[in-house]
């Protein structure tokens, strides 16, 4: 077998536009890889000269998925810069909105963005509905929809899709690929639950509508939250709406505990070899979130802050995103220009000046020795880092937190795999489900905290004492953070004379999808693909499995489409 280069452009079922080029050795194993973000919008440039109090509304438009977390990071950055401490209820409501998105996003990721890398939809046509019902009752004994008649109806729906010659939402995949291992009944069960989760996910985001006025792009406010609490008003957050939120949270717990986690464990049990594939850089970072006192006290975060290097779970290193010695961005392989060439810049000093030097589209391949992406290259103390659910779970586990240790140990036992299995594509996928178990219960706890405060007479959700720019320093800088579903998210703002002088967002997919740096260190996507065996390079499902395990969001990371953008999909093998 001769060496090959496999191009997947775009990688499907993600937000944004990602191109992956994988170089195979003579045995069909990936020996090198390139991750290229192929779009740019320049939100940071758009923000310059604007009122910092409105930055969150622009930042939410960075992405149509990660909306609320960008607003959260933005208002925190401005509040940090001008010295605002929000009321406790505002922090709690922000926690509720944060956890709501995390739960919804993770369930959507598993069923609608990632499951089809493991589930063969067409194989489900061969399933016996009665046998599927028996399997479902075994896998999810507390889930009510598990009768032969129910699965017969789902099978009929799927058959009509196929008979029409249009698979619709199931069209873009490599059905029949030898890497698929689930029996037909497991595939039919997964398709049924895919459709159920699709219906459910539109319900839980009503929590954002109640607390933020709308979804997507809910409203935030520098100094707190915009929706007032008044138990006597029909036009504010009252007891009826709070009880409605409680019902949505309870339903989310049922979905996670009785549908998502059982399905995740069932699918994972058929792919044990993927606990040794896709490990990546082995360095993990989390900013942390869900404060129990204030954002200024990371020791109270439910998601702890820290760094793990070289898979060493015996030590969690401290992280300070405001330290120029810790976080810097490079552009050695990116389509940007720095005034002094390829120096490293902390985000407060960051520059977003596009400079496309790549080949004229359409092109056959990119040059790994030159610039090849619209993503910059962030590094922590010079290290390539992975961020996201796996990083958060590992930092929590290594920090000695009992809640993290409990869910991780239980999952490893059920799958009968060692702790090293976490450092893999399947480990990354499992970690997302495990943190969803934590997050959905924390969601209810945060609602209880809010109710307690209200019962004690505290209905304040905003502090506007420092709202006017006249109360701010003439020049100041601030940092805002959160943990987006895909990982550590930071916004850095420089305010001068009441206006934004500079703004930089370093998002999870910038960390994970970054190109190699000046030292040749790969980003997390690239590193995770190296060493992956491929059964059929013309149908690169193995590439999709590992890339999708990160849940890419390139719209966030590569903040204009060319006029020659007609091509919808391309897989090239040469």
Contacts of 180 (CB under 8 A, 6+ apart): 118, 119, 120, 123, 541
Query: What CA–CA distance (Å, rounded) separates 155 from 144?
Result: 18
What is the DSSP code string of 315-361? Answer: --B---TT-TTTEEEE-TTBSB-BTTBS--B-GGG----B---SPPS
381-411: burial string, b at 16+ Cβ within 10 Å, e else: eebbbbbbbbbbbbbbbbbebeebeebbeeb
Rounded CA gap, 516 and 20, in Å?
13
Both tokens of 173, joined, read 């995949």
Helix (H, G, I), strand (E, B) or coil at 372: coil
DSSP 201-228: HHHHTHHHHHHHSSSSS---BTTB-SS-
Q: Strand pairing partners for 484?
A: 487
Structure pTM? 0.94
10-residue mean pLDDT profile of the chain (574 residues): values are 81 84 95 92 88 96 85 98 97 98 97 94 95 97 96 94 73 86 97 96 96 94 96 94 98 98 97 97 98 93 98 97 95 93 91 92 93 96 98 98 97 94 97 98 98 97 97 98 97 98 95 96 98 95 97 72 38 46
Bridge partners of residue 24, in order along the sequence:
4, 30
Residue 170 contacts residue 120 (beta carbons within 8 Å):
no
Q: Mapping DSSP to helix (H, G, I), strand (E, B) and coil, where does residue 479 land?
A: strand
End-to-end CA distance of the chain: 12
**For residues 199 and 211, what is the distance between their CA atoms, to the nearest angstrom?**
22
The β-bridge partners of 499 are 496
Looking at domain 4-116+199-573, its CATH superfamily turns out to be Cytochrome-c3 Hydrogenase, chain B (1.10.645.10)
Active site residues: 15, 63, 66, 70, 486, 509, 553, 556
From 112, 69, 97, select the one nearest 199 (Cα to Cα). Answer: 112
- Cis before 362? omega within 30: yes
C-alpha dist (Å) from residue 489 to 170, 211, 484: 32, 22, 6
Cα dihedral 369, 371, 375, 376 sign:
positive
Q: Edge to edge, what strands does the sheet with 571-573 contain?
A: 30-37, 18-24, 4-8, 571-573
- 306-308 and 284-286: which strand pairing? antiparallel
Place of tokens 């290594």: 398
Q: Is 476 exposed, middle or buried (0-12, 13-18, 19+ CB in 10 A)?
A: middle
d(CA 117, CA 547): 10
In sequence order, the 6+-apart residues with CB closer than 8 A to the CB of 329 are: 344, 345, 346, 347, 350, 376, 377, 378, 379, 506
Q: Which two tokens stand for residue 449?
A: 């905290």
Rounded distance between C-alpha atoms, residue 252 and residue 441, angstroms: 9
Helix (H) or strand (E) holding 36: strand 30-37
User: For the chain, which residues make up each domain, given as ranges?
Assistant: 4-116+199-573, 117-182
Report the 3 state secondary structure along 376-409: CEEEECCECCECCHHHHHHHHHHCCCHHHHHHHH
Question: Residue 236: how many CB atoms within 10 A of its CB?
Answer: 14
Q: Are 543 and 28 in contact (CB under 8 A)?
A: no
pLDDT of residue 341: 81
Q: How far apart are CA 484 and CA 558, in angstroms?
A: 16
Q: Give the list of residues 6+ apart from residue 181 with CB closer than 8 angstroms, or none.
A: 270, 271
| Residue showing tokens 């935030």 | 220
- The rounded radius of gyration (Å) of the Cα atoms in the chain is 23
State the helix-helix crossing angle for 129-139 and 184-204, rounded to 10 degrees.
60
> How far, in Å, CA of 295 to CA of 297, rounded?
5
Residues in contact with 141: Cβ distance below 8 Å, sequence separation at least 6, in sequence order: none
């Amino acid at each position: 077998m001769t060496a090959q280069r496999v191009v997947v452009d775009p990688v499907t079922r993600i937000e944004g536009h990602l191109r992956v080029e994988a170089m195979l050795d003579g045995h069909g194993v990936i020996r090198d890889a390139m991750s290229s973000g192929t779009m740019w919008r320049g939100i940071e440039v758009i923000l310059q000269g604007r009122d910092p109090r409105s930055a969150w509304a622009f930042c939410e438009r960075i992405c149509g998925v990660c909306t609320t977390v960008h607003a959260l990071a933005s208002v925190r950055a401005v509040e940090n810069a001008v010295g605002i401490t929000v009321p406790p209820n505002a922090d709690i409501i922000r926690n509720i909105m944060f956890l709501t998105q995390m739960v919804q996003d993770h369930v959507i990721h598993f069923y609608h963005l990632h499951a089809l890398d493991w589930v063969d939809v067409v194989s489900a046509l061969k399933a016996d509905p009665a046998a599927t019902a028996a399997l479902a009752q075994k896998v999810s004994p507390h889930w009510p929809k598990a009768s032969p008649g129910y699965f017969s109806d789902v099978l009929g729906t799927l058959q009509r899709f196929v008979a029409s010659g249009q698979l619709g939402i199931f069209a873009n995949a490599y059905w029949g690929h030898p890497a698929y291992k689930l029996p037909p009944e497991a595939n039919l069960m997964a398709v049924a639950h895919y459709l159920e989760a699709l219906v459910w996910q539109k319900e839980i985001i009503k929590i954002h509508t109640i607390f933020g006025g709308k979804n997507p792009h809910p409203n935030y406010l520098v100094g707190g939250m915009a929706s007032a609490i008044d138990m006597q008003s029909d036009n504010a957050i009252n007891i009826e709406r709070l009880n409605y939120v409680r019902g949505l949270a309870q339903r989310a717990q049922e979905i996670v505990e009785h549908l998502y986690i059982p399905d995740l464990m069932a699918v994972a049990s058929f792919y044990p070899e993927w606990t040794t594939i896709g490990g990546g850089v082995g360095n993990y970072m989390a900013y942390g979130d869900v404060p129990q006192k204030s954002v200024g006290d990371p020791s109270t975060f439910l998601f702890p802050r820290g760094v793990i290097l070289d898979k060493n779970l015996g030590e969690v290193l401290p992280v300070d995103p405001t330290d120029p010695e810790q976080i810097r961005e490079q552009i050695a392989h990116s389509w940007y220009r720095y005034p002094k060439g390829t120096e490293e810049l902390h985000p407060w000093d960051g520059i977003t000046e596009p400079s496309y030097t790549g080949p004229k589209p359409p092109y056959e391949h990119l040059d790994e020795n030159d610039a090849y992406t619209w993503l910059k290259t962030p590094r922590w103390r010079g290290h390539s880092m992975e961020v996201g659910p796996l990083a958060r779970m590992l930092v929590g586990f290594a920090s000695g937190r009992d809640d993290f240790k409990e869910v991780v140990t239980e999952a490893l036992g059920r799958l009968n795999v060692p702790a090293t299995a976490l450092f893999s594509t399947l480990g990354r996928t499992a970690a997302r489900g495990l943190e969803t178990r934590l997050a959905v219960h924390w969601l209810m706890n945060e609602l209880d905290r809010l109710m307690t405060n209200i019962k004690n007479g505290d209905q304040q959700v905003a502090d506007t004492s420092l709202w006017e720019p006249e109360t701010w320093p003439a020049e100041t800088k601030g940092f805002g953070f959160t943990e987006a579903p895909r990982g550590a998210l930071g916004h850095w703002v420089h305010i001068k004379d009441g206006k934004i002088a500079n703004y930089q967002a370093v998002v999870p997919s910038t960390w994970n999808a970054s190109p190699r740096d000046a030292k040749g260190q790969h980003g997390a996507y690239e590193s995770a693909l190296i060493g992956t065996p491929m059964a059929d390079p013309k149908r690169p499902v193995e590439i999709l499995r590992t890339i999708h395990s990160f849940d890419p969001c390139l719209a966030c990371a590569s903040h204009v489409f060319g006029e020659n953008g007609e091509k919808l999909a391309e897989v090239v093998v040469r």
